[in-house]
Each structure stands twice: as C-alpha cells, then as structure tokens.
C-alpha cells in the first residue's frame, strides 16, 4: 500500500526537521566545543590553538562579539604564526566588526586603541577611539587610563588632569596610592613617567632609562607613523622649542602645515605654534594663529597664551594680569612659577608693587618646591607606598602647592594605611 502523499510530505518534513535539528545541534555543539576549547586554551596561553578554535567558531557565529574580542587577543599574543604588525591588523579587522551597540562595543574600541597606540604607534587614531569608548562606557577605567598615558607620551601631560581624575574615580582603593604616584610623575616628570610603556613600544631597551633622547625618538616615531596628525608634528616641534631650538621647530611646522588636515582644530598645535612664534619675535603671526584657537576657548594653555599676548605683544599688563590669574587656577597653573613670575612683572609695571612682591614671593615659593633636591627626597618617599611617615612628606608637598585634590587623596591613602595598621592590632 502506498502511503498517502500527505504522510510522505509529513515524513519528509519531519526528516528535514530532524536533520535540521540534528545539524543545528551538531553545529551548535561544535561551536560550543570550539568556544570552550578556545577558552581553555586561552587560560593555558596556547594562543595558536585559541586562534584555530575561534576562527572555526566564528564561521558559525560570526556576530559573537566576545569571540572576536578573544580572537583579537589571541592574534596579538600568538607569537608563533604571524608578524606582529600583521597580527595587529588582523586583530583590528575583528575588533572593527564589533558594533558599538553591543555590550563589548566599548571594550572593543579600547582594544583597538591599544593596538593602534602600543603596537602600530598611532596615538592620534588611538586617541579618537579612546574618547569614543569613554562616551560608550562612562564607567570604564581602561579607556581614560590609556588616554592619560597617551597624553603623557605625546607631550601633552599638561592636558591630562581631567582624564586622570576620571581614572582615579574608578580605581580600586588598594591601587590608589600607585595611581597617585603615577600622577605625580605625570605632573612633574612627564618625559620619564612611563618607562615601562616606552620599553613595551620599543623606545627603550633593557635597563635603559628614559632620557631626552628616548623621548625625542618616541615623538619623532609617532610623527613618522602618523604624518597627518597635527599633534604628532606639534609634539616634535615643542620638543625642539623646549630644548632651545625654536627656529627649527618653526621650520618643521611650516613645512608640514600645508599638508595637514585642519591643524588649527587642534589646540595643542595652536598652542605650540604660538609659543614658537612668540619666542622668535613673530608677533603678528602669533596673534593671527592665536585667533584661530578652536572652541572651547578655555583651559590653562589658552588662558596662559592669551595673557602672554596681552602682556608681551599688546603690552596691556592690566588685562594680562586678569588672564594670568585665570590661568593660575587651572592645572598646571598653580605649579607654574614662571607664569606667576610674569604676572608679578605685570603688576610691577602697573605700579601695584605690594601685589607684585606677594606674587613674586609666591612664585619663589613654588620655584623652591620645584628644586631638584626637594623632588629627589619626594621620590625617595614614593619608594615605599606603605610608609606613612614618608607619605606625609608627599602631603606636605601638595599642601605647600595648594593642590587640595591630591592632598585629600593622599590623606585618604594614609588614613587607610593607618586603619589597616590599627585593625591589625
């Protein structure tokens, strides 16, 4: 007896479904197996295997953001198979496939930034990604941390305060002393604040210590890897200016400026160019460049250069004093004894001699706080972050400097240490 056609169809559909379920089950099991194997291999540091498992896994589940994140990590860490730049590019391709809207979006942007900054040495590209990541995840600690370091390493430590306090806000208590110590180095010795990163990126070898030369090599390398970055060029120019060669600094910027996309949208570029032009007595051009300072027109560098232009170029000491005052309220104004000294000179010219004396005395006090011997002692104190007696010197320093936020943070650290000590008893 021939089966009824409906039965045939039903059986066929059933078979198809069963096969489908079986296939789905098999594929799913295979994918799960690949994922679990990848995770196990990752835990053992077998990155070649991780890559293999995940590449198979992603053929089945190409939209799995977790897998792409892990594969990117594996690609970077797998020493056996790929040259690191190729690995980095492959990893980037995977990370770029992770949409912002996924839970891994912010992490993916941070990882992209890491690759671009630390492996490919593209800080400008990394900076954009980090700022974007910080918008995606306002509570992330990784993005602001890396951005802070990036600012240090691209010669912009003066622009890092806001970023640092974002980092600090999400830093666990047990790590806060270390983070504050890093911040001290970033504040006062930015060129030498990140030797491990310099080693990681190949700008220092072995036990080599950071130097003016290694700083230059880093900045110059960034300039080569990102020839379109106004920041990269400005950082090198600023290095030359700081080392007493503003002519060459200007030559560098003049040569590159026509080729740069929108250099005047970058305040660091504008600030650097203004400083160089003023050093060289090119006052008209300095004013013209300063007029192009992008919005928002605030912050220490803007206020300081506005004051110097009023003081030195326009010879309007009364208005200059107002802007000096405003600049001194913004970090690093309070530590900038040179700007305070300029303010004192303006006050003297205005005949406000007692105020000038007071400002000059304040500047001298800060200058004393910046002396090498003083900082050598402080850095000894930083050598042992559980020695309360030593850390009190750090508090004294910030108190003298009227930096209440750091003072408060270090006081908390000391209080915690003392609490632990009391608790232990």
Partner 1 sequence: MLWRVLFWLLPPVISGCGSPTTSPPLAAGRGVVDDRHTAHSASDAANSLAALQATQVSEKPGAHGRLDVIPQLIDISAEAGVAVRFFNDEVPGRFFLPEVMGGGVGWIDFDGDGLLDLYVMNGCRLVGSPLPGDRHEPHLFRNLGGGHFADVSSSAQAIHFGYGQGCAIGDFDSDGFPDVYLACWGSDGLLHNNGDGTFSDVTVSSGIDNSLWASSAVWFDADGDHDLDLYVVNYMDVRVDNRRVCEFSGKPGYCGPGEYDAVPDRLFENRGDGTFADMLDEWGFTAENGKGLAVAILDLDDDLLPEVYVGNDMAPNYLFTRSHVTGRPETDKLYAEIATNSGCAVADNGQNEASMGIACADYDNDGRTDIYLSHFFGQKNTLYRNLGGLMFVDDSRRTRVAATSFEFNGFGSVAFDFDRDGWMDIFVTNGHVLGPQQQPHAMRAQLLRNDRAGRFHDISSSAGPYFQDLLLGRSAASADFDNDGDLDLAVSHLHRPLALLRNDTVTQRHFLGLRLTTPDRIPPIGGRVVVTASGHRQVLHLVAGSSYLATHDDRLLVGLGEHGDPAAVTIHWPSGRVDEFVLEPDQYWHVREGFAPETRGSSD
Site for partner 1 in 115-144 (CB under 8 A): 118-119, 141-142
Q: What is the largest CA-CA distance in the chain?
A: 120
For residues 44-73, which are near partner 1 according to CB under 8 A?
73
Q: Which range touches partner 1 (CB under 8 A), out of 121-129, 240-248, 295-303, 410-418?
A: 240-248
To which H or E segment does residue 109 belong?
helix 105-114
Tokens coding 133:
């990541």
The H-assigned helical ranges of 1-104 are: 5-44, 47-60, 65-77, 84-96
Stretch touching partner 1 by CB under 8 A, among 29-37, 59-67, 216-224, 261-269: 216-224
| Main-chain phi, psi angles of 394, to 5 degrees | -65, -40
Is residue 353 within the footprint of partner 1 (CB under 8 A)?
A: yes
Q: Which is nearer to partner 1, 64 or 215 (CB)?
A: 215
Q: Which stretch binds partner 1 (CB under 8 A): 15-23, 99-107, 200-208, 261-269?
A: 200-208
CB of 99 to partner 1, least distance (A): 22
84 binds partner 1 per the rule CB under 8 A: yes
Q: How far is the CB of 58 from partner 1 (least distance, A)?
A: 19
Binding residues among 156-175 for partner 1 as defined by CB under 8 A:
157-158, 175
* Contacts of 406 by beta carbon, 8 Å cutoff, 6+ apart: 180, 183, 184, 398
Q: Is 392 in the site for partner 1 (CB under 8 A)?
A: no
Structure-block tokens of residue 20: 């489908």
Number of neighbouring beta carbons within 10 Å of residue 39 = 16
Cis peptide leading into residue 283 (ω within 30°): no
How far is the C-alpha of 234 from the C-alpha of 240, rounded, in Å?
10
Using CB under 8 A, pick the residue from 5, 383, 423, 424 that binds partner 1.
383
Q: Give the one residue of 278, 307, 309, 391 binding partner 1; rule: CB under 8 A.
A: 278
Q: Does 248 bind partner 1 (CB under 8 A)?
A: yes
Determine whether 20 is exposed, middle or buried from the number of CB atoms within 10 Å of its CB (0-12, 13-18, 19+): exposed
Q: Within 290-329, which residues bind partner 1 (CB under 8 A)?
A: 312-313
Nearest-5° Cα angle at 374, 331 to 241: 55
Q: How far is the CB of 374 from partner 1 (least distance, A)?
A: 9
């Amino acid at each position: 007896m021939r089966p009824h056609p409906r039965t045939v169809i039903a059986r066929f559909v059933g078979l198809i479904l069963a096969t489908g379920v079986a296939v789905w089950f098999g594929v799913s099991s295979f994918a799960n197996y690949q994922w679990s194997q990848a995770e196990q291999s990752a835990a053992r540091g077998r990155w070649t295997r991780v890559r293999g498992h995940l590449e198979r896994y992603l053929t089945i589940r190409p939209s799995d953001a977790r897998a792409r994140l892990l594969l990117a990590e594996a690609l970077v860490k797998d020493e056996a198979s790929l040259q690191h730049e190729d690995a980095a590019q492959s990893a980037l391709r995977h990370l770029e496939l992770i949409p912002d809207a996924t839970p891994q979006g912010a992490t993916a942007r941070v990882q992209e930034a890491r690759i671009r900054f630390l492996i490919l040495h593209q800080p400008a590209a990394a900076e954009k990604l980090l700022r974007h990541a910080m918008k995606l995840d306002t509570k992330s600690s990784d993005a602001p941390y890396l951005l802070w370091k990036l600012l240090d390493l691209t010669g912009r430590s003066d622009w890092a305060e806001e970023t640092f306090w974002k980092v600090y806000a999400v830093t666990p208590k047990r790590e806060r002393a270390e983070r504050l110590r890093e911040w001290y180095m970033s504040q006062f010795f930015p060129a030498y604040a990140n030797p491990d990163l310099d080693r990681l990126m190949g700008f220092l070898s072995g036990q080599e210590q950071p130097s003016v030369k290694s700083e230059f090599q880093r900045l110059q390398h960034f300039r080569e890897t990102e020839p379109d970055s106004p920041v990269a060029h400005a950082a090198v120019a600023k290095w030359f200016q700081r080392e007493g060669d503003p002519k060459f600094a200007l030559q560098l910027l003049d040569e590159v400026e026509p080729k740069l996309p929108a250099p005047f949208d970058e305040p660091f570029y504008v600030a650097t160019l203004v400083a160089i032009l003023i050093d060289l007595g090119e006052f008209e051009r300095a004013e013209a460049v300063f007029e192009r300072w992008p919005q928002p027109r605030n912050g220490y560098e803007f206020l300081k250069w506005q004051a110097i232009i009023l003081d030195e170029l326009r010879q309007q000491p009364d208005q200059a004093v107002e802007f000096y005052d405003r600049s001194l309220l913004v970090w690093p104004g309070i530590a900038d004894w040179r700007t305070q000294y300029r303010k004192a000179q303006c006050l003297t010219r205005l005949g406000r001699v007692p105020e000038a004396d007071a400002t000059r005395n304040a500047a001298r006090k800060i200058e004393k706080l910046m002396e090498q011997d003083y900082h050598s002692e402080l850095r000894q104190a930083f050598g042992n972050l559980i020695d309360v007696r030593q850390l009190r010197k750090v508090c004294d320093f910030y108190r003298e400097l009227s930096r209440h936020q750091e003072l408060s943070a270090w006081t908390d650290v000391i209080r915690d240490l003392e609490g632990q000590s009391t608790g232990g008893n």
